[in-house]
Amino acid sequence: MRVLAIETSCDETAIALLEASGGLKNPRFKILENFVSSQIAIHRPFGGVVPMLAKREHQKNLPLLWRKIMDHESGIRQKNKPIIPNAKFLIPDLIAVTVGPGLEPALWTGIEFAKQIHQQLTTNKQRRKESKLVGVNHMEGHLYSFLLPSKLTTNYQLLTTKLFPAVALIVSGGHTTLLLLKNLTTYKKLGETRDDAAGECFDKVARLLGLPYPGGPEIEKIAQAGDPCAIPFPRPMLHQKNYDFSFAGLKTAVLYYLREHPLKDNSSRFKADVAASFEQAVFDVLIAKTMRAVREHKAKSVILCGGVSASKTLRASFKKAVREKKGTRLVVPDFRFSTDNAAMIGAVGYITLMKNGKDLPLLANGTMEI
Ligand code: KG4
Ligand code: ZN
């Protein structure tokens, strides 16, 4: 099955074309095309994502990426010609588009574009029946990103039978959510953040340290030279017997610390210590709560996903924690599928179709839950 996927929930415009097979028992994905056009440089001067700018950029970038896919797939360069499917372009069996959660103006751009493409590709009723257009949840995209091809771990197809029950931590700029999966498609939410998401907290603390957006990779970089035990930042909700998180107070603790230790200390060593200590505080909470869920629910694996899972430091710490809990394994997506991309949206589209799941309406829903 050929799956075309479109993702515009935040500041990455992404389109992917996949070949999917194997059904729910053995889902396999071959990436034919995977384009991500990042808007980081556009939003950087504002210290975060500006929704209307994101919308404008998506509107500009979607036709360019689509053009690229058509050119690649048809093997013909057709510069400056209108986007009309070439006879050699195989019509996708499925088009999947993110409908939420995210920035609504940005989501609408993707949805309208997907509808337009669907219309163009399926000019008669028969074809429209054969090529389905489905809306999908962005967070499910992160959740299933581990099913995409990876250089890190081989053969997830075999793994899928031995993974469950699994605990999944989706940790991104918009969400910090812990799920318990009975199998690939049956899951329930154990907890989530009550205020800021972990990635959002990274972005805000980076700004306090004078680092550019997005803050996660910048903090990880400078933290390498710092001491994670230098400053005892709080570990919010660490000992509470629930699976919720809270990171707003930690950000405030960093703010107060920086006020008390003003810029006479603004050496790179000082900043590195703040970054490393902050990072450690966030990761301690994420790991402790995830591993408690693993113990309580006798999970066989931890699925770590979402933009913050691009952190090598977090991956290494999770690896250590999982190794100490015998009989469990850590499952992470390839780095290129940790942060926002469309391939993961294609994976959800395929899984939704395979389980005969209910289509989500093609309406942007900024606060959609998983
Ligand atoms: O999943 P994602 O691309 O977008 C959302 O769905 O939110 O996640 C982006 C988030 C940003 O907050 C970014 O700072 C964070 O992921 N991030 C990281 C790292 N790389 C990206 N956080 C910590 N360490 C990293 N290396
Ligand atoms: Zn995301």
In a domain, 360, yes or no: no
Q: Ligand 1 pocket, 217 CB below 6 A? A: yes
Q: What is the pLDDT of residue 263?
A: 60
Cis peptide bond N-terminal to 165, omega within 30:
yes
As a whole number of angstroms, the distance between CA 126 and CA 70 comes to 22
Q: How confident is the model at residue 262 (pLDDT cuts 50, 70, 90)?
A: confident
Which atom of ligand 1 is the closest one to the Cα of 198? Answer: 12
By alpha-carbon position, which residue is closest to atom 8 of ligand 1?
Answer: 307
Q: Residue 173 Cα, ligand 2 centroid: separation in angstroms?
A: 7
Q: Ligand 1 pocket, 27 CB below 6 A? A: no
In a domain, 362, yes or no: no
Q: Are 90 and 172 members of one domain?
A: no
By alpha-carbon position, which residue is closest to atom 1 of ligand 1?
Answer: 307
DSSP H helical ranges for 4-137? 40-43, 51-74, 104-121, 125-130
Q: Residue 11 Cα, ligand 2 centroid: separation in angstroms?
A: 10
Q: Are 179 and 46 members of one domain?
A: no
Q: Residue 314 Cα, ligand 1 centroid: separation in angstroms?
A: 12
The mean pLDDT of the chain is 91
Which atom of ligand 1 is the closest one to the Cα of 200? Answer: 12
Q: Are 30 and 131 members of one domain?
A: yes
Q: Are 118 and 25 members of one domain?
A: yes
118-127 exposure pattern, b = at least 16 Cβ within 10 A, e = fewer: beebbeeeee
In a domain, 181, yes or no: yes
Predicted TM-score of the model (pTM)? 0.94
Out of 131-135, 140-144, 147-151, 218-222, least confident range: 147-151
- Residue 149: is it exposed, middle or buried by C-beta count within 10 angstroms (0-12/13-18/19+)? middle
* Cα-based distances in Å from 314 to 204, 272, 284, 318: 18, 17, 9, 6
Q: Ligand 1 pocket, 100 CB below 6 A? A: no
The token pair that represents 354 in the structure block: 């395979």
Q: What is the pLDDT of residue 191?
A: 98
Query: What contacts 99, CB < 8 A, 6 or more positions away?
Result: 107, 111, 135, 136, 137, 360, 361, 362, 363, 364, 365, 368
Q: Ligand 1 pocket, 202 CB below 6 A? A: yes
Q: Ligand 1 pocket, 145 CB below 6 A? A: no
Q: What is the pLDDT of residue 86?
A: 53
pLDDT tens column, 25-78: 889 999 999 999 999 899 999 888 899 999 999 999 999 999 889 887 776 555
* HSE-up of residue 156 (Cα within 13 Å, Cβ side): 24
Cα four-point dihedral sign 23, 29, 35, 38: positive
* Cα-based distances in Å from 366 to 100, 102, 103, 170: 5, 5, 6, 17
Q: Are 289 and 216 members of one domain?
A: yes
Q: Ligand 1 pocket, 215 CB below 6 A? A: yes
Q: Ligand 1 pocket, 139 CB below 6 A? A: no
Q: Are 28 and 118 members of one domain?
A: yes
Out of 25-34, 79-88, 240-249, least confident range: 79-88
Domain count, the chain: 2
Q: Ligand 1 pocket, 308 CB below 6 A? A: yes
Q: Say if strands 2-7 and 12-21 run parallel, antiparallel, or are unpaired.
A: antiparallel
As a whole number of angstroms, the distance between CA 340 and CA 146 comes to 13
As a whole number of angstroms, the distance between CA 278 and CA 30 comes to 38
Q: Are 221 and 133 members of one domain?
A: no
Q: Residue 97 Cα, ligand 2 centroid: separation in angstroms?
A: 14
By alpha-carbon position, which residue is closest to atom 2 of ligand 1?
Answer: 307
Q: What is the pLDDT of residue 255?
A: 97
Q: What is the pLDDT of residue 162?
A: 85
Q: Are 139 and 223 members of one domain?
A: no
Q: Are 135 and 204 members of one domain?
A: no
Q: Residue 213 Cα, ligand 2 centroid: separation in angstroms?
A: 15
Q: How confident is the model at residue 130 (pLDDT cuts 50, 70, 90)?
A: confident
Across the range 245-261, mean pLDDT stands at 96
Q: Are 126 and 259 members of one domain?
A: no
**Nearest to 160, CA basis, from 345, 347, 314, 285:** 347
Q: Are 6 and 132 members of one domain?
A: yes
| CB-CB contact of 301 with 325 (8 Å) | no
**Nearest to 218, CA basis, from 306, 279, 281, 305:** 279
Q: Which of 11, 205, 339 to mutate to test the pocket of ligand 1 (most atoms within 8 A of CB)?
A: 339
Q: Which of 43, 136, 172, 285 to mutate to test the pocket of ligand 1 (most atoms within 8 A of CB)?
A: 172
Q: What is the pLDDT of residue 136?
A: 96
In a domain, 151, yes or no: no
pLDDT tens column, 342-359: 999 999 999 999 998 777
Q: Are 327 and 344 members of one domain?
A: no
Q: Residue 142 Cα, ligand 2 centroid: separation in angstroms?
A: 6
Q: Which domain, by its residues, includes 109?
A: 2-145+338-354
Across the range 14-21, mean pLDDT stands at 96
Q: What is the CATH number of the domain that holds 301?
A: 3.30.420.40
Q: Residue 340 Cα, ligand 2 centroid: separation in angstroms?
A: 5
pLDDT tens column, 287-321: 999 999 999 999 999 999 999 999 999 999 999 99
